[in-house]
């Protein structure tokens, strides 16, 4: 494996699989924040300390139990240029924080890219597991298994009363962030989304955009995650998220069914209009691309379009991001040049 292998393909292997409710749930993710005793948090650590953390965490890659899960590749951030790290951010394999601010940062990636272990990010270790569809329990089981392997080899910063100690107080306790990425076009079109999301925020869950905190909900994609990490067990946190997401899925299904029965002509026009624009447009900015791809994805899920695979749309959501476009072109591109190349890539993938 090499860095090129992870940045050349927009669609990670794990994204090609299917999980429960995959017509609405794009992905399920578990992220665990861990730190080592005797070392300052990354934002306060010296260069020597961060180097020692990098070495200690990297050594675990050779553990036989970890090798039984997958083959892994460790990639230091120092070996990437800014475009390459941006592509990994766009593929959700590393965080913007690791790409921009880390000292002696690195990422350990599994072959199918479903496991990403970030070193010297906001915390010393960030273990991330990604699954297609609604498989949050499966993601937790794998993340917990990996966490046990690391904890057996490393001295975690842990307090009997407070739990796992983390750089940000909001992660203290279990250190877990469980999240589900949902495609909710029908709730947006029927103007129910604000009511639903307000209710979600009142039960201790956060709603974010495609790339987490501070990002926009492009293409009707919403990330639902837990806010509470202290005072509840991991199973309680995941159960709460699971229950709420199940209700959101049912609301989206009801909205889709109602639109299909009462506004089918409107839906057909919207879906096919977006499909036509994607097939022939010469210029396409990222906001319009996300919205048009969302419309076509809805058409596929409702059986209104049959000649395009949902995987193609998943791939295009990554391929049309600024970093991937410039990596594909092997040069920096102006916003106008990106809009032209984005339209070209969409035309080729949609029509083929």
CATH number of the domain encompassing residue 176: 3.30.590.10
Q: Tell me the average pLDDT of the chain.
A: 92
Let me know whether 248 and 340 are in one domain.
Answer: no
Let me know whether 217 and 87 are in one domain.
Answer: yes
Asked if 44 and 101 touch (Cβ cutoff 8 Å), the reply is no
Let me know whether 211 and 342 are in one domain.
Answer: no
Q: Which pLDDT does position 140 carry in this prediction? A: 98
pTM of the model: 0.92
Let me know whether 309 and 194 are in one domain.
Answer: no
Q: Among residues 217, 252, 287, which one ends one of the domains? A: 252
Let me know whether 173 and 61 are in one domain.
Answer: yes
| Residue 276 labeled ligand binder | no
| Residue 27 labeled ligand binder | yes
Q: Which pLDDT does position 214 carry in this prediction? A: 46
DSSP, collapsed to helix, strand or coil, labels residue 299 as helix
Low-confidence ranges of the chain (pLDDT < 50): 212, 214-215
Asked if 116 and 130 touch (Cβ cutoff 8 Å), the reply is yes
Let me know whether 207 and 297 are in one domain.
Answer: no
| Residue 219 labeled ligand binder | no
Let me know whether 11 and 69 are in one domain.
Answer: yes
Let me know whether 183 and 286 are in one domain.
Answer: no
| Residue 30 labeled ligand binder | yes
Q: Establish if 257 belongs to a structural domain.
A: no
Range of the domain at 73: 3-252
Could you give the CA distance from residue 26 to residue 30 in angstroms, rounded to a whole number?
Answer: 14
| Residue 25 labeled ligand binder | no
| Residue 102 labeled ligand binder | no
Q: Establish if 163 belongs to a structural domain.
A: yes
Q: Among residues 198, 217, 252, which one ends one of the domains? A: 252
**Who's near 339: CB < 8 A, 6+ residues apart?**
283, 284, 285
Let me know whether 245 and 271 are in one domain.
Answer: no
Q: Among residues 252, 276, 295, which one ends one of the domains? A: 252
Q: Which pLDDT does position 217 carry in this prediction? A: 64
pLDDT in tens, 57-84: 999 998 999 999 999 999 999 999 989 9
Let me know whether 30 and 156 are in one domain.
Answer: yes
Q: Establish if 104 belongs to a structural domain.
A: yes
| Residue 34 labeled ligand binder | no
Could you give the CA distance from residue 45 to residue 270 in angstroms, rounded to a whole number?
Answer: 53
Q: Structurally, how many domains does the chain consist of?
A: 2
Let me know whether 275 and 224 are in one domain.
Answer: no
Q: Which pLDDT does position 215 carry in this prediction? A: 46
| Residue 186 labeled ligand binder | no
Q: Which pLDDT does position 314 carry in this prediction? A: 86
Q: Which pLDDT does position 210 carry in this prediction? A: 55
| Residue 210 labeled ligand binder | yes
pLDDT in tens, 79-111: 999 899 999 999 999 999 999 877 899 999 999
Let me know whether 271 and 236 are in one domain.
Answer: no
Could you give the CA distance from residue 332 to residue 323 in angstroms, rounded to a whole number?
Answer: 9
């Amino acid at each position: 494996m090499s860095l090129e292998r992870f940045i050349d393909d927009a669609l990670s292997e794990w994204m090609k699989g299917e999980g429960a409710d995959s017509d609405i749930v794009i992905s399920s993710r578990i992220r665990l924040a861990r730190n080592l005793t005797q070392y300052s948090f990354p934002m306060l650590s010296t260069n020597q300390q961060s180097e020692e953390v990098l070495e200690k965490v990297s050594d675990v890659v050779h553990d036989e139990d970890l090798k039984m899960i997958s083959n892994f590749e460790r990639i230091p951030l120092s070996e990437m240029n800014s475009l390459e790290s941006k592509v990994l951010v766009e593929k959700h394999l590393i965080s913007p924080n690791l790409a921009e601010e880390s000292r002696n940062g690195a990422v350990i990636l599994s072959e199918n890219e479903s496991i990403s272990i970030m070193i010297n990010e906001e915390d010393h270790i960030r273990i991330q597991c990604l699954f297609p569809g609604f498989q949050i329990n499966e993601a937790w089981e794998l993340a917990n298994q990996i966490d046990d392997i690391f904890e057996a080899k490393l001295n975690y910063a842990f307090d009997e009363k407070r739990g796992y100690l983390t750089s940000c107080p909001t992660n203290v306790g279990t250190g877990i962030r469980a999240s589900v990425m949902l495609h909710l076009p029908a709730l947006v079109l029927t103007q129910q989304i604000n009511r639903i999301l307000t209710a979600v925020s009142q039960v201790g869950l956060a709603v974010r955009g495609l790339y987490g905190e501070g990002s926009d909900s492009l293409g009707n994609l919403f990330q639902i995650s837990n806010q509470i990490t202290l005072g509840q067990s991991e199973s309680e946190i995941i159960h709460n998220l699971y229950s709420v997401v199940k209700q959101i899925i049912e609301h989206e299904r009801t909205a889709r069914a109602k639109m299909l029965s009462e506004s089918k002509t409107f839906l057909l026009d919207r879906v096919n209009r977006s499909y036509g624009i994607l097939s022939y447009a010469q210029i396409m900015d990222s906001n319009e691309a996300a919205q048009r791809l969302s419309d076509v994805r809805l058409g596929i899920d409702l059986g209104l379009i049959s000649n395009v695979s949902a995987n193609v749309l998943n791939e295009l959501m990554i391929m049309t991001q600024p970093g991937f476009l410039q990596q594909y072109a092997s040069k920096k591109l102006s916003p106008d040049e990106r809009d032209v190349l984005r339209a070209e890539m969409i035309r080729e993938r949609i029509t083929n």
